[in-house]
Amino acid sequence: MQMRLWAYILCGFLLAGCAGGDTAGDNYGGVSHLHPDNRRSEVYGGEKGQKRADKSQQFGFFRHQKSPIMGDRSARRHPPVMDRKKLARDIGRLSTDLPNVNDAAVLVTDDEVLVAYESDTDNRELTADQVRKTAISVVPSFYHVYVSDNKMLIRDVETLSSLNTQNENATETIDAVIREMRKSPQGFRPGKGSKGGMESGR
């Protein structure tokens, strides 16, 4: 009987010790050792009354590790794909943010960018240079960029959007439009009014 009483008393002490809850975490401001910044919404995306930082102010970060499994080729089955429609949209928006550019039609293929725009500029070469460099800043460096302030070509570039890489005559049709675009100013070349820059054209 006395042993059972001592067992009850011992259990009571143990339960009293656990009743304090997770007070150790409170001593550290609720920060866990596994994720010391788990209260920072800008790091882990939690909101909890805190306003998220503007996306335009954030850095882009991603960490990817090779699979530890020998011979695992699953990543190769899903190669990264470039969103050409988004690239075209971004180039168009940035182009119309430029002075004197009021309208822009943009086509992005697998290695070319065509920008036909309407402008009221007095300096066609300067505006062409700005539009070309805008496109260059968005796409990979192997792309060829063609620009034209001939507003009649806006419709032609828009028509090309119905094509894709599987169309048999896509290359010939695009090349025909490019030939017309090259009759317009293409911007400055290195050593001719601008510093550096990737040359457009093939």
CATH number of the structural domain spanning residue 162: 3.30.70
Domain annotation covers residue 93: yes
Q: Which amino acid is at 51?
A: K
**β pairing state of 101-108 and 112-119:** antiparallel
Q: What is the reported pLDDT for 197?
A: 41
Gap between the Cα atoms of 118 and 103, Å rounded? 5
Mean pLDDT of 109-114: 95
What is the pLDDT at residue 172? 93
198 in any annotated domain: no
- Here the tokens at position 31 are 């920060």
List b or e across 76-106, with b for residues whose CB sees 16 or more CB atoms inside 10 angstroms. Answer: eeeeeeeebeebbebbbebbeebebbeebbb
Assess if residue 121 is contained within a domain: yes
Asked if the structure places residue 172 within a domain, the reply is yes
Count of structural domains within the chain: 1
180 pLDDT above the threshold of 90: yes
89 lies in some domain? yes
Tens of pLDDT, residues 45-91: 555 545 556 777 888 888 877 777 777 766 666 677 889 999 999 99
| Surface-to-core class of residue 116, CB atoms within 10 Å of its CB (0-12 exposed, 13-18 middle, 19+ buried) | buried
CB 138, CB 115: distance < 8 Å: no
Question: By residue range, what is the domain housing residue 105?
Answer: 84-181
Q: Which of 188, 89, 201 is nearest to 138 (CA)?
A: 89
Helix/strand number for the chain, H first, E second: 7, 3
The pTM score is 0.64
- Burial (CB count <10 Å: 0-12, 13-18, 19+), residue 181: buried
